[in-house]
Structure 1
Amino acid sequence: MSSQNASINITHFIIGGFDTLSRPTAVGVAILITYLLAVLANMINIMLIISDKRLHKPMYLLICNLAVVDIMYTSSCNPTMIGVLLAGVNTVSYVECLIQMCVFALGTLMESFVLAFMALDRFIAIIYPFQYHSYLTNTRVLILTFIVWFVAWCFVFYMPATVVPLPHCSSRLRYTFCDFPAVLRTTCVDPEKYFDEAAIIMFFILFFTFVFICLSYCGILLYVKLLSNNEKKKMGSTLVSHLICVIVHYCPAFVRIIFTRFGVVLTLEERQGLVIGAVLGPCLVNPFVYCLRTKEIKQKLFKIFKKFNTSE
């Protein structure tokens, strides 16, 4: 029987990634709380930056862009997982599934691109402090941000272009939401070729952005050696926030996407945990890191709380 004759007409998918979970409600509540905290923290960062004209600078525009990416990234899959775990809604329409797959992939790519862009910002700010505002203006940052989003969308279009023409033999997703591997496994074809193609694309993007970030840090460290101890501490504090975000994003990404393509075998539960952690971790950590470690944002937040307390 040919794969085409064995295919079925798909109108919706059934999410089966949580079928073996022993305590779905507890996991659902944990994901819900983490998701709400991540969205709230990122929205606060965005509102603080938009509302204060003194923060309309390249670095804060990049932080604002990262917050937008984090909200989109975490919202691409968490509502679906929360619906399955807490409301028992384990079906998603075909079109909604493809949209979720694309938005999730876009979030993954944009996290890498934005972190690389922020590394460039820190490199210019530290190496060329007097020329910084002439090199990176708000207009140039906005143009480069638009280009980065456009490039990310171009990569993402590979996924629906691959999946849509393929016949489907199953409507049941093995994983917890609609990502590319989950949807591809419902088709009637051998997915390994497509997995390898996607892995090459992701390896290229992750490797390129990670190496770019590492080279930026190497350049900064070589420059910092020439500074005094007080200046070194000041420079170090400006890099810690970015370094934390880089670690939280790239560690699970390398394990989940690249290492598994080179023979590291993960159980279904381990993969699910890595995917959920790879989404929730950066989206929750990033806003708190930049809110607590960026002096201007922290000062504005304290002023708001102080004003609120005095008004009471």
Structure 2
Amino acid sequence: MEGGNHTGATQFLLLGLSVDPELQPYLFGLFLSMYLVTVLGNLLNIMATTSDSHLHTPMCFFLSNLSFVDICFTSTTVPKMLMNILAHNKVITYTECLTQVYFLMIFVGLDNFLLAVMAYDHFVAICHTLKYVIIMTPLLCVLLCLISWTIIFCFSLPHIILLMQLTFSTGTEIPHFFCDLALLINLATFDILFKVNVVLLYVSIILLVVCPITGILISYSQIMSSLVRMSSSESRYKAFSTCRSHLCVVSLFYGTALGVCLSSAVTHFSHESSFASLIYTVATPMLNSFIYSLRNKDVKGALGRLLSRAASVPSWSTHFPTNGSFCPLRQCCEFTHIVC
């Protein structure tokens, strides 16, 4: 990009995962399959949690938001890659690249915040069970999501504004299958704005990644402390079982992210780091839907009922408990598997 000319005619070259033409059909089939499974799996999770009245709980509300973000996260990178493979074209325009960077930052940041909010929900459900309904009100749940969206939008926009001020050489090659913020900053011409971008990048990492991770660790430290104080091993097991799906997703998300960071640091954004990013950006959103649907009997049951209704379209009615043992906290307790 010469002379700061950031017109729509300017373009980059996405080198992708492999330059071997014989591998392109296999890569296309693999990514298309993974993308369709990701979209379908997360859509089913959203439909199951919204259509079943028994799953109108804070955790399922956050799960629906996480599924939506995972769909958007994958849709930001994979369709463009599939188009390039199909057209045998590696070009991505300057505008497309900045748009991709912007939305990637938004959805990665939202993943971080939603996982932290879900950890807080588990903390309240286990450590303050009797006050759960009072604390985790629908208004608070909506506010937590709105605050997360607002913070991410506010921190993503300055990155794009500063990135637009950087200059790049003509025909810049990006050794990746999508436009990555850190990679673009590294490929830009070194000037004072380069330093500003780097400083802002580190500040954003601290606020948007380190802070959510700290919140997750604090929540689970309190949860473990509460579990230790439980006298019944059965109650301890039931309480901990509510965290297993979330712990799996957190481990997968941050484990693959750490792998991408280490791979990029060692290989300096080569094709090896692109393969590591593949797990982080494509495989992780796909596996999240399976982790929550297969490890949670309530979500799995709702999926079964949803698919049964779609197959047979029977008449159905909502079941309400009518026995005398009804507990005001049953909706919360049934979801968290904690005995009322």
Q: TM-score, normalization: structure 2?
A: 0.82
1:202-236 CA-partner distances (Å, limit 9, x unpaired): 14432221121112111111111122111122122
Q: Which residue in 2 is equivalent to 1:177?
A: 178
Q: Which residue in 2 is equivalent to 1:303?
A: 305
Q: 1:224 aligned to 213, 227, 230, which one?
A: 227
Q: Are the counterparts in 1 of residues 37 and 286 from structure 2 also a CA contact under 8 Å?
A: yes
Q: Which residue in 2 is equivalent to 1:108?
A: 108
Q: Which residue in 2 is equivalent to 1:16?
A: 14
Q: TM-score, normalization: structure 1?
A: 0.89
Task: Tell me, yes or no, if structure 1 residue 272 matches structure 2 residue 270.
Answer: no
Q: 1:283 aligned to 282, 285, 290, which one?
A: 285
Q: Which residue in 1 is equivalent to 2:334?
A: none
Q: Output the CA distance in 2 between the equivalents of 1:269 and 1:5.
A: 30
Gaps of 5+ in 2: 315-340
State the one-letter code of the partner of 1:153.
F
Q: Output the CA distance in 2 between the equivalents of 1:49 and 1:308.
A: 15
Task: Note the 1:132-147 alignment, pairs <5 A.
Answer: 132-147=132-147
State the one-letter code of the partner of 2:178.
F
1:133-162 CA-partner distances (Å, limit 9, x unpaired): 100111110011001110011111122111
Q: 1:212 aligned to 212, 215, 240, which one?
A: 215
Q: Which residue in 2 is equivalent to 1:56?
A: 56
More displaced stretch, 173-182 vs 55-64: 173-182
Q: Give the aligned length.
A: 308
Task: Tell me, yes or no, if structure 1 residue 92 matches structure 2 residue 96.
Answer: no
User: Structure 1 residue 111: deviation in Å?
Assistant: 0.8
User: Structure 1 residue 269: deviation in Å?
Assistant: 1.2
Gaps of 5+ in 1: none
Q: Output the CA distance in 1 between the equivalents of 2:312 and 2:167.
A: 64
More displaced stretch, 207-216 vs 70-79: 207-216
More displaced stretch, 300-309 vs 121-130: 300-309
C-alpha RMSD of matched pairs (Å): 2.6
Q: Are the counterparts in 2 of residues 59 and 118 from structure 1 also a CA contact under 8 Å?
A: yes
State the one-letter code of the partner of 1:189.
F
Q: Which residue in 2 is equivalent to 1:246?
A: 250
More displaced stretch, 187-196 vs 110-119: 187-196
State the one-letter code of the partner of 2:271.
E
What percent identity do the matched residue pairs reach? 25
Q: Output the CA distance in 2 between the equivalents of 1:6 and 1:290.
A: 47
User: Structure 1 residue 302: deviation in Å?
Assistant: 1.9
Q: Output the CA distance in 1 between the equivalents of 2:56 and 2:80.
A: 35
Q: Are the counterparts in 1 of residues 11 and 91 from structure 2 also a CA contact under 8 Å?
A: yes
User: Structure 1 residue 186: deviation in Å?
Assistant: 5.2
Distance 1:10 1:306, change over 3 A: closer
Q: Which has the larger radius of gyration?
A: 2
Q: Are the counterparts in 1 of residues 2 and 170 from structure 2 also a CA contact under 8 Å?
A: no
User: Structure 1 residue 311: deviation in Å?
Assistant: 6.9
Q: Output the CA distance in 2 between the equivalents of 1:20 and 1:304.
A: 40
Q: Which residue in 1 is equivalent to 2:44?
A: 44
Q: Are the counterparts in 2 of residues 48 and 297 from structure 1 also a CA contact under 8 Å?
A: yes
1:178-211 CA-partner distances (Å, limit 9, x unpaired): 2223443554335863345413421443222112
Q: Output the CA distance in 2 between the equivalents of 1:218 and 1:114.
A: 18
Q: Output the CA distance in 2 between the equivalents of 1:291 and 1:116.
A: 20
Q: Are the counterparts in 1 of residues 185 and 194 from structure 2 also a CA contact under 8 Å?
A: no
Distance 1:220 1:271, change over 3 A: same
Q: Which residue in 1 is equivalent to 2:260?
A: 256
